[in-house]
């Protein structure tokens, strides 16, 4: 994929992240692309569903598997606005996703190189090609705005 198309798909993931923020959830969004088209999209739903597994990536992986009719998502690229956590990185390996493109790194929980690198660890049965920093500023701004809003609310409450 070209950098231009990576940015275009990441903007779709950012739109999903905005939907999460609107619903009161951490603004993380994702889209799955296969053969140049979006086959699944979603955003964080942990607060909405009260489900610790309702990360954007997990929902999109499930949706993409349904669309493709199988759990192997080889040949697909996941675009996500924040570097995946260990759970989500493990799910990408298990689903055999070919490529991950993320916007902002996560220095506290990132499993695509920031804290650990689950996706490129050759000891696993699958390695994911990783690109980070696509639309990083937009994603970071969305996250900062969300969390500063929470802090303002907590301070006034």
Which sequence positions are flagged as catalytic?
57
Q: Check if the beta carbon of residue 82 is closer than 8 Å to that of residue 20.
A: no
Residue 36 burial (CB count, 10 A): 9
CA distance 98 to 110: 18
Strand ranges (E), 50-157: 76-82, 99-104, 129-132
CA distance 59 to 46: 11
Write phi, then psi, for 78 (nearest 5 degrees). -100, 130
CA distance 108 to 69: 35
CA distance 22 to 86: 26
């Amino acid at each position: 994929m070209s950098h231009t198309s990576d940015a275009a798909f990441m903007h779709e993931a950012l739109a999903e992240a905005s939907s999460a923020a609107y619903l009161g959830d951490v603004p993380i969004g994702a889209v799955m692309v296969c053969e140049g088209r979006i086959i699944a999209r979603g955003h964080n739903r942990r607060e909405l569903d009260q489900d610790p597994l309702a990360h954007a990536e997990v929902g999109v992986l499930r949706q993409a598997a349904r669309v493709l009719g199988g759990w192997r998502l080889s040949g697909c690229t996941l675009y996500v606005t924040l570097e995946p956590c260990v759970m989500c990185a493990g799910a990408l390996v298990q689903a055999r996703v070919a490529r991950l493109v993320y916007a902002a790194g996560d220095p506290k929980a990132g499993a695509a190189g920031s804290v650990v690198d689950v996706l490129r660890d050759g000891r696993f049965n699958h390695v994911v090609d990783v690109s980070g920093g696509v639309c990083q500023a937009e994603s970071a701004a969305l996250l900062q705005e969300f969390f500063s809003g929470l802090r303002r609310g907590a301070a006034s409450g």
